Chain A
Amino acid sequence: MAQHFRLPSGGRIDRSKPVSFTFNGSKIEGYQGDTLASALLANGVHFVGRSFKYHRPRGIMSHGSDEPSALLSVSRGPGRTDPNNRASVVELREGLVTKSQNHWPSLNFDVGAVNDLFSPVFVAGFYYKTFMWPRSFWDKVYEPFIRAAAGLGVAPDVPDADRYANRHAHCDVLVVGMGPTGLAAALAASETGKRVIVADEQAEPGGSLLHASEETIDGKPAAEWVKETLAVLDARENVILLPRTTVFGYYNHNHVAMTERVTDHVVDPKGAPRERLWQVRAGHVVIAAGSLERPLVFADNDRPGVLLAESVRVFVNRYGVLPGRKIVFATSGASAYQAAVDAKRAGAHVTISDLRLEADCGPELAKARAAGVEVLTAHTVIGTVGAKRVKGLIVAPVTGAGAIGPRRTLDCDCVGISGGWTPTVHLFSQSRGKLAYDEALDAFLPGTSAQAETTVGASHGDYDLARCLTAGYAAGAKAAGSAATARFEATPTLKGFQPVRVMPTDANPAKVRAFIDFQNDVTAKDIKLAVREGFQSIEHVKRYTTTGMATDQGKMSNMNALGIVAGQLDRPLPSVGTTTFRPPYTPTTFGALVGPARDALFDPIRTTPIHDWAVEHGAKFEPVSLWRRAWYFPKAGEDMHAAVARECKAVRDGVGVFDASTLGKIEVVGPDAAEFMNRMYVNPWLKLEPGKCRYGLMLKEDGYIMDDGVVARVAQDRFHVTTTTGGAARVLNHMEDYLQTEWPDLNVFLTSITEEWAVIAVQGPKARETIAPLVSDIDLSPEAFPHMAMREGRICGAPTRLFRVSFTGELGFEINVPADYGRAVWEAIYESGRKFGITPYGTETMHVLRAEKGYIIVGQETDGTVTPDDVGLAGMIAKAKADFVGKRSLARQDLVASGRKQLVGLFADDPSLVLEEGAQVVADPNQPIPMKMLGHVTSSYDSPNVGRSIALAVVADGRALMGTSLFVTTPGGFTRVSVVDPVFFDAKGERINA
């Protein structure tokens, strides 16, 4: 397809660099510097999509980020397909594959377009009114139907192949926008030497100056001024210029978020990221974000070929594209006249239809007529002619009394509409600044700033070029702490407009569809209906009609919607208020927000020094907090059950080795260390001798168990505290809190040493013989080194803190060695134990072995509402201590009352039945529902050493129920169990002292 609508010269495209892409399978050519929108228009393509609700044909309406309709799926290759790209902001790049959306089977013939015929049914609140009854339809019929019909593009179904970066930056002044105002502000701010960042969402800096035709600044053509200014800024080392960078969020304390599109426009990114998320902390923010043109509201104003007037001008001047050969500009203001003059100069046949009276027009009128443009003043627009492309505009004169004169159809293939201008106050509002309504400008302007911020230029309702430059310069200087000013001479701007909410018409307003929100298919009729049905708050009207709730956040539609609501309620517009502007300003990719935090970096995994050995020996792993722990070590052909059974037997009959490195470890050091431990744990610590261990139980202040672990007193002033794997950080925080805030007088230091030590548990009757050949400097004999002792010495030559402790009930050691020695010592122990059949075991076997002994696991037998007495550990509490954290609460009424759930063992009648953990316990399965729940199963395993299934449970007054029968829920109904002692194996505890 040739570029029939490309002008022979002009524009900022590079005609020496043709670029081809496909649209719905057809190959289309444009030039470097085009957007998808300008390249499509250069080839005469206006109709590029179907609308959201009515599936009406839609075309390109805008040249910028406010585009509501021209949403395309754009693919840059596998894993690089995004839906809902605005054609006006996607830079052309060789090989792009683009498709229209929201139609089936094709853009030209769309079955969904039948919705348009039924539009009287699809009024505001259609969903709320229709999908109410019958209730049984909610899940099965309505929801699938709504979900299938909703949404625009198709979400990608493969992982994003691109890389995204992020960057934190600081600057003294952040300038948002590189139009005339922003560039002047950047010039002034950077002159002071302060650090300045300047960001603009477009590919090329310059804003409105990039499509200037006649405008000059200080006697130079505007484009020339942009070039020189950019060269000056670029040469300053204190300036960072960021084109293609959208400032999308303005948060607290001048924390501003922006996305830089780094490589979407290049064919070979050479490894550079696709986008970069900038998080900038700015001393002062200058918002020079410009303004947005309002469409006019009349029947069928959504026809492809209908563009914003200024966008016609942009396509002509900046891209060298004539959007149509016969163009009608429908306007209620002056700016469209400049667009008309430029289009006329480019060779189009141009007519202007202006709602304003001849007397209300300014110098623009004479200018247009002098250029040979026919101008119809005091004319309204009744509607458009055409289907998939506008063919004519129906206009009619409006008499002074408001009567509509005879209609007349102006043949055309393009319409430029302009209903005036709205300052871009999104970022100002996000910064929590207060808006103030300006009646003369018919706009909400930035009022009181909430942060160190200045909004200036068109964003502040100033549409005159020279004034924008002067004000921008002064604002930039002031933001940088300077009082400098500069004078700029510039061509006067054609400005001023007459606000109009809906164009006067002689048609029945109930019959026509005049679109307000093009993306969500909301018409003036819908908004009027909402008001008639009683909605008065704009926030409610917005949600009921969905106006302004599409991905464009109502950039084009908000003022028109507000105006109609105010008109219907007969209230002044400011009393209706505005809806809330929320980030992001434009749609932002998930990739940019996620950045590098994906895959392995999404949720970091902690591994122990012995992890690789376990991997090499076939371990299956389970996640425990951030750790990956070896779960069990299956041999060939073994399932989990068989592997765990083998491991359990091996520990009790010979020796097993277990990686306990994930245990939390805290060193508590200082002259007051023992006193501090005394206050933090229920146990007594003052008299514990160095070289001895004690099982420590920690409560929260409310008296419930928080954590537990073995603690060794290494020296008079030094404790080696262990915690549960998941509780390490929590316990350290808890200790720090009390130390810093309640007892700052205690001289104690707390250090996390979890990662410093690898811990190897060697457990079983052969444990001592296994490690004996490796240990030096420590007498391992039972007399010299009894259960719950700790010795410092060496193993395999490496320093060790050797604990004689056991979580299995067997003779056992927990060998702490510096982490770097962990694997070597583990391998030496494994080698040494071979003659005893040493068996590596994982967390599952650890769980079974401790359950056989009735040892609790915090978080399994306890749930934050369990006291020491509930789990039979009241004996750990040092009765003589005056105080410790949680002591007072143990005397609370509810904690001493009868009926508390207590730890017991359960034997199912069927010894092969393994109860479900979490299953409820009841006394009588035949009682009426709701039944009285006595408690629940906390741990349940098949125990090879006991020779049957075992379970731990917490049951109301459980200790008084020993020997009785209760019932437990199973997937197949209730099963009978008997209540037994929770210690199932070696009840006398003799093996541990071997």
Chain B
Amino acid sequence: MLLIDCPCCGLRPETEFRCGGQAHVARPEKPVDVGDQDWSEYLFVRANPRGVHAERWIHQHGCGRWFNALRDTVSDRFVETYPMGGKPKSTTTEARA
């Protein structure tokens, strides 16, 4: 079982967490102004990379806070976690190293 570094609570077992899919997909400021194509991409199209992926996670059975994480989808290794609205310390290239 993985240990995941919750920005609020520190290292906790993965069963306390839930993944919320790709991170940094911001909801458009004014959805009504968004065209059909862009809106459908916002709703349904997500990246599914082989390698480091920025994801949203929530410490569901802990502090209940959402945060972001860089996770390698091949090794299941968490590169880093960082608060909502923040940016990761490592670039994707560094994270792959």
Contacts and interface: CB of A to CB of B under 8 A. Distances in A.
Interface of A: 251-253, 255, 279, 281, 701-702, 733, 736-737, 740-742, 744, 882-883, 887-889, 891-893
A892 B40 contact: yes
Contacts, number: 54
B17 interface: no
Contacts of B30: 882-883
Contacts of A891: 32
A279 B13 CA distance: 12
Contacts of A701: 27, 43
A736 B58 CA distance: 10
A888 B85 contact: no
Contact of A893 (B20, B36, B56): B36
B64 A251 contact: no
Contacts of B65: 740
Given A741-B56, A744-B85, A892-B36, A252 B43 contact: no
B27 A742 contact: yes
Interface string B51-82: 00000101010001110000000001000000
A252 B4 CA distance: 11
26 contacts: A252-B2, A253-B1, A253-B3, A255-B2, A279-B1, A701-B27, A733-B58, A733-B60, A736-B64, A736-B66, A737-B20, A737-B58, A740-B66, A740-B84, A741-B56, A741-B66, A744-B84, A883-B31, A887-B31, A887-B32, A888-B39, A889-B39, A889-B43, A891-B32, A892-B39, A892-B40
Given A882-B32, A888-B39, A253 B84 contact: no
Given A255-B3, A887-B31, A888-B32, 16 more contacts: A252-B1, A252-B3, A255-B13, A279-B1, A281-B13, A701-B27, A702-B43, A733-B58, A733-B60, A736-B64, A736-B66, A737-B58, A740-B65, A742-B26, A744-B84, A744-B85
B9 interface: no
A744 B66 CA distance: 11
Nearest to B28: A888
A12 B61 CA distance: 50
Interface string B8-29: 0000010000001000001100
Given A888-B39, A892-B36, A741 B1 contact: no
Contacts of B3: 252-253, 255, 281
Contact of B32 (A702, A740, A883): A883
Contacts of B20: 737
Contacts of A888: 31-32, 34, 39
Contacts of A737: 20, 58, 66
Contacts of A889: 39, 43
A252 B71 CA distance: 14
Contacts of A887: 31-32
Nearest to B64: A736
Residue of A252, A255, A744, A882 ringed by the most chain B CB atoms within 10 A: A252
A892 to B, nearest CB: 7
A891 B3 CA distance: 43
Contacts of B1: 251-253, 255, 279
Contacts of B64: 736
B76 A252 contact: yes
Interface residues of B, number: 24
Contacts of A744: 84-85
A436 B43 CA distance: 47
A937 to B, nearest CB: 30
Contacts of B60: 733
Nearest to B23: A741
Contacts of B84: 740-741, 744
A867 to B, nearest CB: 14
Contacts of A255: 1-3, 13
A887 B32 CA distance: 8
Contacts of B36: 892-893
Nearest to A743: B27
A740 B36 CA distance: 27
Contacts of A733: 58, 60
Nearest to B4: A253
B10 to A, nearest CB: 13
Nearest to A736: B64
A887 B31 CA distance: 8
A736 B27 CA distance: 15
B67 to A, nearest CB: 9
A887 B30 CA distance: 11
Contacts of A736: 58, 64, 66
Contacts of B43: 701-702, 889
Contacts of B27: 701, 742
Contacts of A892: 36, 39-40
A251 B3 CA distance: 11
Contacts of A702: 43
B83 to A, nearest CB: 10
Contacts of A251: 1
A791 B2 CA distance: 50
Contact of A253 (B2, B39, B56): B2
Nearest to A255: B1
A251 B20 CA distance: 24
A253 B11 CA distance: 11
Nearest to A279: B1
List of 3 A-B pairs having minimum Cβ-Cβ separation, nearest first: A888-B31, A255-B1, A253-B3
A732 to B, nearest CB: 9
A280 B27 CA distance: 42
Contacts of A740: 65-66, 84
Contacts of B2: 252-253, 255
Contacts of A893: 36
A891 B36 CA distance: 9
B23 to A, nearest CB: 9
Nearest to A703: B43
Contacts of B32: 882-883, 887-888, 891
A882 to B, nearest CB: 7
A741 B57 CA distance: 11
Nearest to B33: A888
Contacts of A252: 1-3, 76
B41 to A, nearest CB: 12
Nearest to B32: A888
A460 B50 CA distance: 34
Contacts of B85: 744
A889 B60 CA distance: 28
A744 B86 CA distance: 13
Nearest to A892: B36
B1 to A, nearest CB: 4
Contacts of A253: 1-3
Nearest to A253: B3
